[in-house]
């Protein structure tokens, strides 16, 4: 019998599987697709490579969670440092988010002058720095009593940041600045949305500060595309089963039986990397189905529409841009597009002289369910986004050698989920309401962006680290 069966090779599944395997535990990793990484993978279409969703790696620096987990696995990724982390373009203004606070403030004061800018961004910077220095908190949902006890490990964090935890970010910013422009509020809100996955009015200022401040940390470009990172991370694992979907799981007294279309495997413990909203469908047992039922309502149906383009161009582009428009694009939840370019030296991701571009915008998965409107809606949004990207970043139409788009339905088809970006970290979704990495069912665990701690590399890795503690491995 296998000791650990890990279902899904996203950031959470691949990392915990590689870690357990490195520590000598018999582990098998199942992935329904031929490539690893889920939302953070790379795919090829008609000979062109694209990062599927994630394009930025944050948290790979000393003392931060991604590096400490990679070190624990014994894995060193091939990376290129990105500074500025993003270039923000809004109404003809260009604001690079430099890692250095002073360099960033200098441009900010030119583009969005305000006497309170230094005080505000120093606060954002300080909240981030002191948060990442804090250690020792953990979170369990195994029993109510254990959950209460684990919450006490957050008391130092609660005391330190209580002022910012209780207040909604929108009100805090308005009060702090006294008066500010809609344009500047949109500048802040667009940056917060890509990290916290929620608008300023729904989150506390603590979450907003961490979201605004992540660019003061090191961010990296992954050479060769994200799937290559997962291939390298799991290279020494003995059992990685690609193109193998787990169709259902039987729960026995002391073990589980996982079924694929071809065979069945017994495992003592199961770690799911599927979304917590839909994992109940894998089981028949009422007790397990009921466990998941209470989390199904957390699904906010938030998702992404993707534009992928390859261009042949001599222009020098940075790795990441956020393009903020004054009005929302149709069938989207945002007026900001996040656009990432491959590094010119990265000829594994795109041919020399070409850029592989991955652009994303928030949408609602339910808007893509009507089959009669699907194709026309998809084409219209794809055309609108191509036009915006080309106009703002001065790409000529004739430089585009390939383009395609993906909707929440595409994600459902390939990676078994249409809600993307995980739990929005709103004031309602904060601890203790977050689903944990362990469950009330013996031997059943979870990793990924719909459970503790949050989405993205640092958020999911905090959950992997938490699970490692809970498993005592």
Ligand X SMILES: Cc1cc2nc3c(=O)[nH]c(=O)nc-3n(C[C@H](O)[C@H](O)[C@H](O)COP(=O)(O)OP(=O)(O)OC[C@H]3O[C@@H](n4cnc5c(N)ncnc54)[C@H](O)[C@@H]3O)c2cc1C
Distance of closest approach, residue 308 Cβ to ligand X, in angstroms: 11
Closer to ligand X by Cβ: residue 309 or 460: 460
Distance of closest approach, residue 379 Cβ to ligand X, in angstroms: 20
Distance of closest approach, residue 273 Cβ to ligand X, in angstroms: 5
Closer to ligand X by Cβ: residue 112 or 301: 301
Half-sphere exposure for 243 (CA within 13 Å, toward CB): 2
Closer to ligand X by Cβ: residue 170 or 417: 417
Closer to ligand X by Cβ: residue 140 or 273: 273
Contact by Cβ (8 Å): 374, 409: yes
Distance of closest approach, residue 84 Cβ to ligand X, in angstroms: 15
b/e per residue 12-36 (b: at least 16 CB within 10 A):
bbbbbbbbbbbeebebbbbbbbebb
Distance of closest approach, residue 110 Cβ to ligand X, in angstroms: 27
Closer to ligand X by Cβ: residue 39 or 212: 39
Half-sphere exposure for 39 (CA within 13 Å, toward CB): 30
427: which residues sit within 8 A by CB, 6+ positions away?
168, 202, 203, 204
Distance of closest approach, residue 134 Cβ to ligand X, in angstroms: 20
Write the DSSP string, 102-117: HHHHHHHHHHS--TTH
Q: Which residues bind ligand X (CB under 6 A)?
A: 7-13, 30-33, 38-40, 53-56, 58, 245-246, 273-274, 304, 360, 415-417, 420-422, 447-449, 455-457, 460
Q: Which tokens hold the place of 111?
A: 């583009």
Residue 387, preceding peptide bond in cis (omega within 30° of 0) = no
Q: How large is the angle between the packed helices 11-22 and 226-233, nearest 10 degrees?
A: 20
Closer to ligand X by Cβ: residue 14 or 313: 14
Longest dimension (CA), the chain: 66
């Amino acid at each position: 019998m296998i000791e650990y069966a890990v279902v899904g090779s996203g950031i959470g599944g691949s990392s915990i599987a590689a870690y357990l395997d490195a520590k000598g535990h018999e582990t098998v990793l199942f992935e329904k697709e031929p490539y690893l990484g889920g939302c953070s993978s790379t795919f090829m279409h008609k000979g062109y490579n694209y990062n599927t969703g994630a394009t930025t790696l944050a948290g790979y620096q000393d003392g931060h969670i991604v590096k400490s987990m990679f070190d624990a696995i014994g894995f060193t990724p091939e990376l290129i440092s990105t500074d500025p982390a993003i270039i923000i373009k809004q109404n003809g203004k260009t604001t690079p988010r430099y890692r250095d606070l002073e360099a960033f403030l200098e441009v900010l004061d030119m583009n969005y002058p305000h006497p309170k800018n230094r005080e505000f961004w120093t606060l954002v910077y300080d909240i981030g720095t002191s948060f990442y220095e804090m250690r020792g908190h953990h979170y369990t949902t195994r029993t109510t009593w254990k959950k209460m006890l684990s919450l006490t490990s957050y008391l130092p964090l609660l005391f330190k940041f209580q002022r910012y935890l209780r207040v909604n970010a929108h009100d805090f910013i308005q009060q702090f600045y006294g008066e500010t422009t809609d344009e500047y509020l949109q500048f802040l809100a667009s940056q917060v949305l890509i990290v916290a996955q929620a608008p300023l009015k729904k989150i506390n200022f603590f979450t907003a500060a961490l979201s605004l401040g992540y660019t003061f940390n090191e961010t990296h470009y992954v050479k060769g595309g994200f799937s290559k990172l997962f291939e390298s991370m799991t290279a020494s694992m003995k059992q990685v089963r690609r193109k193998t979907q787990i169709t259902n799981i039987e729960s026995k007294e002391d073990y589980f039986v996982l079924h694929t279309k071809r065979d069945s495997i017994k495992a003592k413990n199961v770690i799911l990397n599927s979304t917590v909203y839909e994992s109940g469908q894998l089981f028949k047992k009422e007790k397990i189905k009921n466990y998941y039922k209470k989390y199904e309502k957390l699904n906010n149906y938030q998702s992404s529409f993707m534009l992928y383009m390859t261009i042949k161009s001599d222009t020098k582009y940075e790795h990441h841009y956020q393009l903020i428009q004054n009005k929302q694009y149709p069938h989207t939840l945002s007026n900001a597009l996040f656009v990432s370019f491959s590094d010119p030296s990265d000829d594994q991701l795109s041919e020399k002289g070409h850029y592989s571009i991955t652009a994303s915008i928030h949408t609602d998965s339910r808007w893509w369910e009507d089959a009669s409107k699907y194709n026309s809606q998809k084409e219209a949004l794809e055309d609108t986004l191509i036009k915006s990207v080309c106009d703002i970043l001065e790409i000529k139409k004739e430089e585009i050698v390939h383009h395609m788009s993906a909707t929440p339905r595409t994600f459902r088809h390939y990676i078994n989920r249409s809600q993307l970006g995980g739990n929005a970290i709103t004031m309602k979704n904060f601890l203790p309401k977050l689903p944990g990495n362990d469950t009330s069912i013996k031997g059943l665990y979870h990793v990924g962006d719909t459970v503790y701690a949050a989405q993205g590399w640092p958020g999911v890795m905090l959950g992997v680290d938490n699970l490692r503690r809970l498993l005592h491995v």
